Amino acid sequence: MHPRPFLSRYIRHTLLLLLALCLVSSGLYSFASEHTLSIIPAPEKVNYGQGELNISHGLSIERTSDENAEFAASYLNELLKKTHTVTVSSGASAAPKVIFLHRQPEGSPDESYQLTITSSGIEISASSRAGYLYGVVTLWQILSDHLQTIPVVQINDKPRFKWRGFMLDSARHIQSEEFILKLLDYMALHKLNVLHWHLVDDQGWRIEIKRYPKLTSVGAWRPQTMPPYQSHVQGSYGGYFTQEQIKQIVAYAAKRNITVVPEIEMPGHSSAAIAAYPELGSAPEPLHSPPAGWGIFPNLYNVNDSTFTFLQNVLLEVMELFPSPYIHVGGDEAIKDQWKANPAVQARMHELGINNEDQLQSWFTGRIEKFLNAHGRKMVGWDEILEGGLAPNATVMSWRGTKGAIAAARQGHDTVLTPNRPLYFNYRQSDAADEPPGRVPMNTLQDVYQFDTLSSTLTPTEQAHILGVEACIWTEYVITQDRVEHMLFPRLAALSEVAWSDPSNKNFHNFLSRLPDELERTKKLGLHPAESVFEVRVHAEPITNPDQATIALSTQGSYGEIHYTLDGSDVKPRSSRFNQPIHISFPTTLKAQAFDGEVPLGNPITRRLTLEEVLRRDSRELDQCTGGGGIQLEQDPPRNRERPVFLVNFQQPCWIYHNVEMQYIHSFNVGVGSIPYIFYGPSEEKHKSQPMGTFAPRLDIHLDSCKGNVISSIFLAKAVRKDGVTELKGENISAIKGSHDLCFEMQNPDPKTVWLLNYIQPIAAK
């Protein structure tokens, strides 16, 4: 942690403000292009005035008789006490006052507010609870920037979209109630207003249903976190939320203007429920527990009336707990093999005059929609619900790109944009060697920020069906809460700006200029954001001498200035500035960090540069020979310590190391590991049932491409079924010269195992 030089940032802001004041002679003026206050999401209109409000004696929050403002006032009080040094008093105090004013709606959107800071006090005016809350949130962000004074300013703000969502998967790995409350605060502080809560999936049923206790006594527990060779987790693994806990979460959210939309998956992703009540299933064999492992399981609910009775009874309890106008019923990835093979399902289909299984799913979903509509609720489903014909009033969540949203809007249906690229935050945010597990490829902060909400694709009438946007985090590989935080923050802040801010106020460079304060606020809330966008990356340019190298430094966001030292001293804003490649001799200790003026960005890095160190590659830094795709994963992870992370395309484990200068290399050591083949789906079942051969497992190194000659093979026998990473030594290949791409390819006879590469360590020729 570095102390934040708030004051220097403030001085810079003040200078900018003075400059602006010279340009505009009097009164309030618009300052649209540069946000001197680090407010996220960017407000609609910010008009700076002359002067400042002195808050060195703290603030006094006026009591209010407006019951809508009451929560906002107490929230501000509570927030400031938790995160700020500014003192807060109430009643007769000499400190400047924060007052709340009721404004007549005048047809303005319900969530709008006006925040006015003058040299004598602060006024928040709104016509709704949400408006007051968002005024308070903006004020809280402003106060975090400055210690003694804040600028005179008037902010008029309103949202772009009404659905500003975030989906949390609590089914694959559950989180604590306390953690979810923290997320709700983060959401409120970024003006996000929908928590879509994925409570049910194959691997676990996480919501107490009183009428069906086995849903949680059986369905909430699986044998292990992930199927291991030997489990590190003793006993069963899982958990669930009681109805009491859910009521508390929903009430906590409601106070913060957040609707919790529950998701109860059907007809697929239902293994946990079927394990609890086998009569609900479509397969002849019962399930004994929710499965461990990932992918698409074939288990579907059957279409008996008794199954609909079960689902309706579940939904009645769900609707009792969640006042949300929307109930999400999943509908994704329902592969139909079991329905095709089940005579009773087929007979029902024919009796109904339904031609195929996609239409049967549509009939299934339509029947559920009718039930929800009859209870005053609207149904949401993933975009697969379009396939056999959309239920009459359904809202579509478009996750496989935006095609589903376009189709739904053109059919006159409401839709929410949740495309996996770039709005799935379980995808990694950078290709650095220290990114935790998640999917490949990357959804960078910039990808999220610049997400196009189809405004030029749809007509205005169709566009009106886009309720908004939502980011999703699926937790198969995002096992722990701190990892969820790393994947969410600050990408969720970028999403908040997509969801809330007018596109004319959006600019990624400007967002990055506000991000250091945003990250600081996130940490004050006790959350751990990723700083990947600011962290310095080191690239050794083609090496032409084994004793020296030319080093280039960069950051993902290309924001600020990179400074460095080569003498082991700590890096400061006055250290050498990187502006062209640096020549170094091995060994050298490099320290580097990016700065925005005096403000440090991200964490400093230290690298002890030697020829072997700069040639080393983590699997996360290598390309997959298959192009995109792949997963960064851990082996069956104990939850309480760091584990090695492997990037692999499990269907074809091979990695490309580009432009290797072979004349400096004697051989390659590799770090390898393995996991059982824990992936499910039609192609995976075929894969696992086909032996691949009787040879000994090995890692082949091909020259130039994966089709090129094998220049060396490293046998994996010493690493078979070993936990963690095993280092294996390769043979002498010093006869090969020149610059080449190398393909490292696992040759594996056992379809039930996936071999993993953790790192490649070239050994220098002497």
User: What is the set of active-site residues?
Assistant: 201, 269, 333
CA Rg value for the chain: 28
Match 């603030």 to its residue by tokens.
59
Q: Judged by CB, which is closer to ligand ACM: 473, or 743? A: 473
Site string for ligand ACM, 112-131 (x = CB under 6 A): --------------------
Site string for ligand ACM, 156-195 (x = CB under 6 A): ----------------------------------------
Q: Judged by CB, which is closer to ligand ACM: 405, or 551? A: 405
Q: Does 387 contact ligand ACM by CB under 6 A?
A: no
Q: Which residue is nearest to ligand ACM (CB)?
A: 332
β-strand 548-555 against 97-102: which pairing, if any? unpaired
Comparing CA positions, the residue from 618, 615, 649 lying closest to residue 433 is: 618
Q: Which of 48, 382, 655, 677 is the binder for ligand ACM (CB under 6 A)?
A: 382
Residue 61's region, left for phi above 0, alpha for psi from -120 to 50, else beta, is: beta
Residue 544 phi, psi (nearest 5):
-115, 5
| Burial (CB count within 10 angstroms: exposed 0-12, middle 13-18, buried 19+), residue 211 | exposed
Q: Judged by CB, which is closer to ligand ACM: 385, or 584? A: 385
| The total number of residues written for the chain in this structure | 766
Closest separation between CB of residue 399 and ligand ACM, Å?
A: 4
Q: Judged by CB, which is closer to ligand ACM: 151, or 404? A: 404
Q: Judged by CB, which is closer to ligand ACM: 172, or 514? A: 172
Q: Judged by CB, which is closer to ligand ACM: 186, or 382? A: 382
Comparing CA positions, the residue from 211, 319, 337 lying closest to residue 268 is: 337
Q: Does 337 contact ligand ACM by CB under 6 A?
A: no
Closest separation between CB of residue 317 and ligand ACM, Å?
A: 24
- Alpha-carbon span 294 to 758, nearest angstrom: 21
Closest separation between CB of residue 478 and ligand ACM, Å?
A: 14
Closest separation between CB of residue 639 and ligand ACM, Å?
A: 24
Query: Would you state the structure tokens that stand for residue 56, as one six-digit string?
Result: 């060195």
Q: Could you say which DSSP state residue 706 is in?
A: T
Closest separation between CB of residue 419 and ligand ACM, Å?
A: 10
Q: Judged by CB, which is closer to ligand ACM: 277, or 382? A: 382
Comparing CA positions, the residue from 127, 125, 33, 140 lying closest to residue 76 is: 140
Closest separation between CB of residue 197 and ligand ACM, Å?
A: 14
* # of chain residues touching ligand ACM (CB under 6 A): 4
Contacts of 482 (CB under 8 A, 6+ apart): 528
Binders of ligand ACM among residues 391 to 420 (CB under 6 A) are 399
**3-class secondary-structure state, position 762:** strand
**H-type alpha helices, 243-282:** 243-255, 271-276
Site string for ligand ACM, 351-380 (x = CB under 6 A): ------------------------------
Closest separation between CB of residue 209 and ligand ACM, Å?
A: 22
Q: Does 332 contact ligand ACM by CB under 6 A?
A: yes
Q: Judged by CB, which is closer to ligand ACM: 205, or 399? A: 399
- Alpha-carbon span 467 to 395, nearest angstrom: 9
Give the dihedral sign, CA 359/364/367/371: negative
Comparing CA positions, the residue from 564, 592, 764, 751 lying closest to residue 663 is: 764
Closest separation between CB of residue 366 and ligand ACM, Å?
A: 20
Query: Would you state the structure tokens that stand for residue 318, as one six-digit string?
Result: 């769900």
Q: Which of 110, 177, 317, 333 is the binder for ligand ACM (CB under 6 A)?
A: 333
Residue 570: HSE in the Cβ half-sphere, 13 Å Cα cutoff = 4
| Burial (CB count within 10 angstroms: exposed 0-12, middle 13-18, buried 19+), residue 691 | exposed
Binders of ligand ACM among residues 301 to 320 (CB under 6 A) are none
Binding site for ligand ACM (CB under 6 A): 332-333, 382, 399
